[in-house]
Amino acid sequence: GDSVTQMEGPVTLSEEAFLTINCTYTATGYPSLFWYVQYPGEGLQLLLKATKADDKGSNKGFEATYRKETTSFHLEKGSVQVSDSAVYFCALGGGGADGLTFGKGTHLIIQP
Amino acid sequence: DSGVTQTPKHLITATGQRVTLRCSPRSGDLSVYWYQQSLDQGLQFLIQYYNGEERAKGNILERFSAQQFPDLHSELNLSSLELGDSALYFCASSVEGDRLAKNIQYFGAGTRLSVL
């Protein structure tokens, strides 16, 4: 069945550091890939998406490229801020299973 | 603000009881999805309704049921509650009824259920 694997953390970085959160997936068909972010006490917000191979999603300085050959969708940001502290979820939809399939989430902590 | 409204925010109840969680989707969205977030299982898809009809089922227990009303709001009913049902329950909505969820889903803030 469909599955998503991501580093769980916590990942602790200093402000202005480079961020990479790895995400790999297993799916049948041709899924769409998503990154969602959850701030403390809030629901999930869509951060970015990509619908086909080689698509790059980007938003608020975050980027991720849909790599079919490596079945990956790694999240990157060039310079993180304290306000980026949150839990980040990689997810896929349309791979064969119903609904979205989520990774376990990566807790990101940015220190000033 | 995603436009998806969930009530109540918190619910505390006892084992064996029954509760109802409510969700109002974004204006214009016809699909409602329910997810459960727990520490051990992570985020899991429970069930989807589209325009009043069940469209897809995930890892939903038989003790749980849902429905979507003509005004498109949805309710998730949890009965014979057990300690292990304590979790955060999210509702999400989307315009399309795609059961494979290729389209963007917008999430509510969730209902935190504590079963004591």
**Which of 11-30 (A) contact B at CB < 8 A?**
29
Give the per-residue SS3 of chain A. CCEEEECCCCEEEECCCCEEECEEEECCCCCEEEEEEECCCCCEEEEEEECCCCCEEEECCEEEECECCCCECCEEECCCCHHHCEEEEEEEECCCCCCCEECCCEEEEEEC
Q: What pLDDT was estimated at residue B101?
A: 58
For residue B116, give every residue at least 6 positions away whose Cβ sits within 8 Å of its Cβ, in sequence order, or none. Answer: B12, B13, B14, B15, B83
The backbone torsions φ and ψ at residue B98, rounded to the nearest 5 degrees and listed phi first, read: -55, 110
Helix, coil or strand: residue B84: helix
Helix, coil or strand: residue B85: helix
Strand partners, B50: B31, B53
Q: Return the closest-CA partner of residue B104 out of A4, A74, A3, A94.
A: A94
Average pLDDT over chain A, rounded to an integer: 93
Task: Determine whether the interchain pair B45/A101 forms a contact, defined as Cβ–Cβ distance below 8 Å.
Answer: yes
Confidence bin at B47 (pLDDT 50/70/90)? very high
- Reported as a single tens digit per residue, the pLDDT across A49-73 is 999 899 999 999 999 999 999 999 9
Is B56's Cβ below 8 Å from some Cβ in A? yes
Residue A47's identity, in one-letter code, is L
Asked if A36 and B43 touch (Cβ cutoff 8 Å), the reply is no
- Name the residue with higher pLDDT: A97 or B85: B85
Residues in A closer than 8 angstroms to B4, CB to CB, are: 43
Asked if A95 and A82 touch (Cβ cutoff 8 Å), the reply is no
- Name the residue with higher pLDDT: B72 or B98: B72
Overall size of chain A counted in residues: 112
Residue A25 pLDDT exceeds 70 = yes
Average pLDDT over chain B, rounded to an integer: 92
Confidence bin at B98 (pLDDT 50/70/90)? low
Q: What pLDDT was estimated at residue B103?
A: 77
Tell me the two tokens of residue A63.
């980027």
Task: Determine whether the interchain pair A100/B2 forms a contact, defined as Cβ–Cβ distance below 8 Å.
Answer: no
Asked if A34 and A22 touch (Cβ cutoff 8 Å), the reply is no
Q: What pLDDT was estimated at residue A8?
A: 83
Confidence bin at B21 (pLDDT 50/70/90)? very high
Q: What pLDDT was estimated at residue B97?
A: 65
A100: nearest CB among B2, B57, B101: B101
Q: What pLDDT was estimated at residue B95?
A: 84
Best mutation target, B41, B43, B57, to test chain A (most A CBs within 10 A)? B43
Q: What pLDDT was estimated at residue A42?
A: 85
Confidence bin at A9 (pLDDT 50/70/90)? confident
Residue B13 pLDDT exceeds 90 = yes
d(CA A31, CA A16): 33
